[in-house]
Chain A
Amino acid sequence: MNGLQIPLEHVLIIASFMFSFGLLGLMLRRNIIFMLMSLEVMLNAAALAFVAAGAKWAQADGQIIFLLILSVAAAEVAVGLGLVLQIQRRFKTLDMDTAKRMRG
């Protein structure tokens, strides 16, 4: 398999767009599930950047970092969804703007 001849920047631009959009979702959505999804998108974007960099230098390190990101995402989703369940039970809502108990 020889030769995907595109500049590295194109991949990185896609990754940064996905990252920015993930951030946008994080700031925009009030539903905790969508916030978690946004986080997934951002992690994914970062993973894409790593893999692309690994491909640029023809090294395996990029994919190894991808693996680590994957495990972080898995752990985060497991705990995060557990929290979603708790929030739903306690506050009877998933809206993070109303589900707060600080007075500030």
Chain B
Amino acid sequence: MMESLFYLASFIALVATVLALSRANATHALIYLIVSLLAVAVIFFLLGAPFAAALEVLIYAGAIMVLFIFVIMMLNLGDSGVAKERQWLSPRYWIVPGLLAAILFGEMLVALQHHSAALSGKMISPKAVALELFGPYVLAVEIASMLLLAGLVGAYHLGRRFLARTEMEEELQEELKEQEQQRAQP
């Protein structure tokens, strides 16, 4: 029962991922990505990691993806963007990246070939995770908090400039115009 549930969730995760990354419309892609993340959350649960599954749903599928949606809505890409994306997804662009990704996947399969081991099937409770986290891993927690702080500051800095046009930006616009003129000349 649980095995078939695992394979089903895996299947959904894979398909949703493939669909997410091959969509032309960013919003559709995000919905598929959220489905993929939810499926991975199910897998986490089945693997005996309920805490990870909850975080996957809350933070990944919830917070992070919502951030994506906000940005996409803010940019207001519209239909012309979708048409352009379609054009960029024509089959000839797939060849080299597809080949490389396939080779890498093949290599990883080869690496996994010889190591056969069954899962323990034990559940690791949030309490065990918390004990570990604030025990031996407390330094990593501190580092992660610093990383998040840096991310916060960076995001604020980058986002604030979006609202106010500065002199630097005007200069940049002029520069870009010049470049376009240069391109147009020959």
Is chain B in direct contact with chain A in the complex (CB below 8 A)?
yes
Chain A hits for B116, CB < 8 A: 7, 9
Chain B hits for A77, CB < 8 A: 64, 67-68
Given known contacts A34-B21, A78-B67, is B119 in contact with A55 (CB within 8 Å)? yes
A73 to B68, CA, bound (A): 12
A35 to B94, CA, bound (A): 15
Given known contacts A1-B123, A4-B121, A71-B144, is B17 in contact with A27 (CB within 8 Å)? no
Q: Which residue of A lies closest to B72 (CB)?
A: A33
Interface size class on chain A is 35 or more
Interface size class on chain B is 35 or more
A interface footprint on B121-153 (CB within 8 Å = 1, 0 otherwise): 111100011011100010010001101101110
Question: Which listed residue (A24, A38, A51) contacts B98, Cβ 8 A?
Answer: A24
Question: Which listed residue (B117, B147, B162) contacts A7, Cβ 8 A?
Answer: B117
A23 to B148, CA, bound (A): 25
Question: Which listed residue (B49, B147, B162) contacts A85, Cβ 8 A?
Answer: B162
Chain B hits for A59, CB < 8 A: 124
Q: Which residue of A lies closest to B161 (CB)?
A: A86
Please determine whether B129 and A63 come into contact, CB atoms closer than 8 angstroms: yes
The SS class assigned to the B binding surface is helix
Chain A hits for B17, CB < 8 A: 18, 21-22, 41
Query: Distance (Å) between the CB of B107 and the closest chain A CB?
Result: 9
Q: Given known contacts A47-B52, A72-B147, A79-B155, what 13 new A-B pairs fall within 8 Å (CB)? A: A3-B2, A12-B108, A14-B14, A14-B43, A16-B112, A23-B101, A33-B68, A44-B60, A56-B119, A75-B152, A77-B67, A89-B162, A95-B84
Closest CB pairs A-B (n = 4): A82-B158, A75-B151, A27-B97, A25-B21
- A residues neighboring B (CB under 8 Å): 1-14, 16-25, 27-31, 33-34, 36-38, 40-41, 44, 47-48, 51-52, 54-64, 66-68, 70-79, 81-86, 88-91, 94-95
- B residues neighboring A (CB under 8 Å): 2-3, 6, 10, 13-14, 17-18, 20-21, 26, 29-30, 33, 36-37, 40, 43-44, 46-49, 51-52, 55, 59-60, 63-64, 67-68, 71-72, 74-75, 77, 81, 84-85, 88-89, 93-94, 96-98, 100-102, 104-105, 108-109, 112, 115-124, 128-129, 131-133, 137, 140, 144-145, 147-148, 150-152, 154-155, 157-159, 161-162, 169, 172, 176
